[in-house]
Structure 1
Amino acid sequence: MNKSLSMLENHPHIWRAREQSQQEERFSLGFDQLDEALNGGISTSGVIRIRTLTGIGELSLFKHVISKQRTHKMIAFVNPPGDIQAPWLATFGIDVKQVLIVKPSTEKESLWATEQCLKSTACHCVILWSNGVNTKESRRLQVAATHNDALCLLFTRPNRNSMHNSAALQTLPISLDLCLNYRQHALEVSVLKQRHGWPKDNIAIHNDWTPNNRAIKWAVEHNKVKRHVLHSVS
């Protein structure tokens, strides 16, 4: 009996929460409490789903990851809910020459474009806005991202009927599942599911999410000299 248990315990597919991988590289998000809940940050590859409303600072939460340039690697924005502005990218320290914007006509085209960007090895980060990703499609994106050392941020709208249904939230085979809410001048982050870690609710991120005129001032000053053109594909 003891021998059988020993063999089972040593099986490579058995995961122990107390034993974190020391070799897995991670990106710090720059928020101590959140990084601690994520065992040092997010994985450098794989799919991260973020269930959030638009315009509450959801992209700013990942600014350190998005701006972490890799040599000759691009950032792709697929099906963004609005126009991606060069001044906004500049505030993150992102070279606009390394940005690709894809505006597909359908959800199917969005998923196809995202998978191709991940497989191309030309992108270190692909950001997708989609509400129609199922288990099979998310698995394809997860495989494409992990096999090509790329990160995919999947932004989806929160579903009120399943916000507190953990089973519905943990069905996708992805690296990390987050939910964002904005309450009392703070962004609340809930870790719904993560590889090699535990869920954690309502991590408050206190930051200045209030818009200011820095991007406008930057645009006025720099557009006097030259125009910044973003690569856009429809």
Structure 2
Amino acid sequence: MHKLIKNLQDRQLIWKGLQSTTQGSTTSSGYPQLDKQLNGGFPAHGVIEIESKQGIGELRLLTPYLSQQNPQKLAIFINPPGKICAEFFNNQGIHLENILVIQPQRDLDALWAAEQCLKSGACHSVLLWGADLEIHQTKRLQAASETGKCLQFHFKATSHNQLSLPVSLSMRLSAHAQGLKVEVTKRKGSWSYGNFVLDMSQNWPLLTQKVIHEDNSHRALSDNTVLAFPIAKQG
């Protein structure tokens, strides 16, 4: 029985309550505050699920990470919800020749493309937008990620689907005046730590504006408040 338990532990199929939560290699997200919450940063490979509305800063969450990856490898964008802005990535130090955009017509084709890119060894990151994943699909992406040592980010819309997938990390994002409110809903080999506010004002100073305090009863924008991005026109 002891050999069986040890074998399961070696394969990380069981977890002991007293074991360290720093198991496995990590890579910095580019945000020290987020790295601290994740005990070092993003996992080196695996599937990261990001539940978020579009246009609240979800891509800004990943650009510091993308900019520090191996320049000899590719970042793959599969079915992004909008056109990729070349100037944005140039300003972040991400070379355009290292970005490949794939726009399959069907979700199944998008999943196939993601799996091939993950296990190819030519990519450091695959960003996939699309429908909710099934358990067997997630397992295939996890296996491909481990084969190619490539990290998979899956963006999904906020939904009521509470199916727990075998992902390495799951986060739920919502807009916040100072950046993003991040809720870590699942982390492989560890407990979730609830939610926290990720302050983006240092990384994105041009998206902040000074606040003017009018009086105690009416408070205008104050200090450095990160503006929602993109800003919707009103009128």
What TM-score does the superposition give when structure 1 sets the normalisation length? 0.77
Q: Secondary structure at the match of 2:62?
A: helix
Q: Evaluate the alpha carbon distance shift between residue 182 and residue 17 of structure 1 in structure 2; reply closer, same or farther with a 3 A threshold.
A: farther
Q: Secondary structure at the match of 1:137?
A: helix
Deviation at 1:104, TM superposition (A): 0.9
| Sequence identity percentage | 35
* Structure with the larger RCO, 1 or 2 (CA within 8 Å, 6+ apart): 1
Deviation at 1:109, TM superposition (A): 1.2
Equivalent of 2:181, from 176, 181, 188?
Answer: 188
User: For structure 1, which runs of at least 5 residues remain unmatched after alignment?
Assistant: 163-167, 213-234
Q: Distance in 1 between matches of 2:75 and 2:5?
A: 41
Deviation at 1:17, TM superposition (A): 4.8
Matched ranges for 1:75-114 at <5 A: 75-114=75-114
Q: Distance in 1 between matches of 2:77 and 2:97?
A: 13
The Cα offsets for residues 163-191 of structure 1, whole Å up to 9 and x where unpaired, read as xxxxx25x211111110011333311111
The Cα offsets for residues 119-162 of structure 1, whole Å up to 9 and x where unpaired, read as 22111101000123211111111110112100011000011x35
Checking the alignment, whether the CA contact within 8 Å between 1:125 and 1:150 is kept in structure 2 is: yes
Equivalent of 1:199, from 174, 192, 196?
Answer: 192
How many residue pairs get aligned? The number is: 201
Larger displacement relative to structure 2 (71-80 or 46-55): 71-80
Deviation at 1:16, TM superposition (A): 2.7
The Cα offsets for residues 32-65 of structure 1, whole Å up to 9 and x where unpaired, read as 3322221111111111000001111111112222
Q: Distance in 1 between matches of 2:186 and 2:135?
A: 15
Structure 1 segments (4+ residues) deviating >4 Å:
6-11, 209-212
Q: Secondary structure at the match of 1:60?
A: coil
Q: Which residue is equivalent to 1:179?
A: 172
Q: Distance in 1 between matches of 2:87 and 2:120?
A: 27
Q: CA RMSD in A?
A: 2.3
